[in-house]
Amino acid sequence: MFDTSKVGQTFPPFTVEVYRNKIDELTTAIGDPNPIYHSREAAQAAGYPDVPLSPTSPTLFSFWGNRNGGRNLASVGINLARVLHGEEEYEYLAPIYPGDVLTGVSKIVEGRHRAGRDGSSMDIVTTETSYTNQHNQLVLKARTTIVVRE
Amino acid sequence: MTTEITAIQAPIKRYFEDVEVGEELPKLVKAPVTHLQLVRYAGASGDFNPLHTDPKVGEMVGTGGIIAHGMLIMGFVGQLLSDYVGPTALRKFGVRFKGMTHLDDVITCTGVVTDKYEANGEARIVGKVQATDQNGDVKVTGTFEAALPHKSA
């Protein structure tokens, strides 16, 4: 069960580099044929300096960059086998392009228990990760809410 | 606290003046979700939860077979927004996951502009988005905010 005294806890920072080929892979899996995501030349021809992030590309920073994400959640009492994704939200604050090196800091911003009708209980926990780039500029905030069935 | 927004070098897809409150985004109908797509999405995104790729695990946990990553469906809605305003115009994009998506489901993404206003020296539009399957079951609901240039700028 989630330890509600951990709301406000911040986890150690992680770094992640933005790779062009991961944006290509992700948008290919999504089935988005827009050429700006699949080639630098096409992106530049369209007026971008390089391949831009697709709207959900920040998920790459979470799964590939935040290698301790699972362990962090387990350390505050969350049973990873029972996690469902409840909500995901991004705030895009400044441009991010391939070659940028981002530093992410995750914090538990909300967490509570909720009793189910059948007497079971669930935890609803929101983590916010703030990303700064190599120029120490805040570029992105990602909020993830998970639902954990006890 | 205010956040300063850096000017973004990017092509202009749509002007503030061209968008009306109540306007619907061009609907996006995706191809049926396939097992191969989920395997591909797992490898691309780094989310290797076997719930999304291993049919045996899907049976075991009672989801009626493997289910799609919620983030794949958010990605579909992201494509809708990317097509509408371009990726670098987006300022906020958030969704709530409402239902599981199974193999062969055909997801349709829709959206509507709900507001227009000026903030931090930028002209912004706000809207609601949704993803539903072939039966009309809602998989994802969400909101977005985008910064659009003025025609005179």
Minimal-distance CA residue of chain A relative to B92: A91
Average pLDDT over residues A44-73: 95
Asked whether the beta carbons of residue A137 and residue B6 sit closer than 8 angstroms, the reply is yes
- Check pLDDT > 50 for residue B2: no
Set of chain B residues whose Cβ sits within 8 Å of the Cβ of A96: none
Asked whether the beta carbons of residue B82 and residue A54 sit closer than 8 angstroms, the reply is yes
Average pLDDT over residues A29-55: 97
Task: Give the per-residue pLDDT at B1.
Answer: 38
Set of chain B residues whose Cβ sits within 8 Å of the Cβ of A138: 3
A72 and A11 Cβ atoms separated by less than 8 Å: yes
pLDDT grade for B153, boundaries at 50, 70 and 90 = low
Whole-number Å distance between alpha carbons of B153 and B145 = 20
ipTM of this predicted structure: 0.95
Residue range B52-84, pLDDT digits in tens: 999 888 777 777 789 999 999 999 999 999 999
Task: Give the per-residue pLDDT at A61.
Answer: 97
Three-class SS of B86-141: CHHHEEEEEEEECCCCECCCCCEEEEEEEEEEEECCEEEEEEEEEEECCCCCEEEE
Least confident residue range of A135-144, B46-55, B74-83: B46-55
Smallest Cβ–Cβ distance between B5 and the set A31, A53, A93 belongs to: A93
A54 interfaces chain B, CB cutoff of 8 Å: yes
Asked whether the beta carbons of residue A60 and residue B45 sit closer than 8 angstroms, the reply is yes
pLDDT grade for B9, boundaries at 50, 70 and 90 = low
Angle at A89 between CA A38 and CA B77, to 5 degrees: 50
Ranges of each domain in chain A: 4-18+54-149, 20-52
- Check pLDDT > 90 for residue A120: no
More confident residue, B92 or B13: B92
- Check pLDDT > 50 for residue B149: yes
Hey, which residues 32-91 in chain B have their CB within 8 Å of chain A? Answer: 37, 40-41, 43-47, 70-72, 74-79, 81-83, 87-88, 90-91
Please give the share of chain A, as a percent, with pLDDT higher than 90: 84
Set of chain B residues whose Cβ sits within 8 Å of the Cβ of A95: 6, 8-10, 88
Task: Give the per-residue pLDDT at B152.
Answer: 75
- For A23, the token pair is 């944006």
Q: Which of A32, A56, A87 has the most B C-beta neighbours within 10 Å, making it the best mutation to test the interface with B?
A: A56
Taking the CA of residue B22 and the nearest CA in chain A, the distance in Å comes to 23
Q: B16-32+71-148 falls under which CATH superfamily? A: Hotdog Thioesterase (3.10.129.10)
Task: Give the per-residue pLDDT at B4.
Answer: 45
| CATH code at A4-18+54-149 | 3.10.129.10
Distance of alpha carbon B83 from its chain centroid, rounded?
11
A89 interfaces chain B, CB cutoff of 8 Å: yes
CA nearest neighbour of B44 among A128, A65, A104, A26: A26
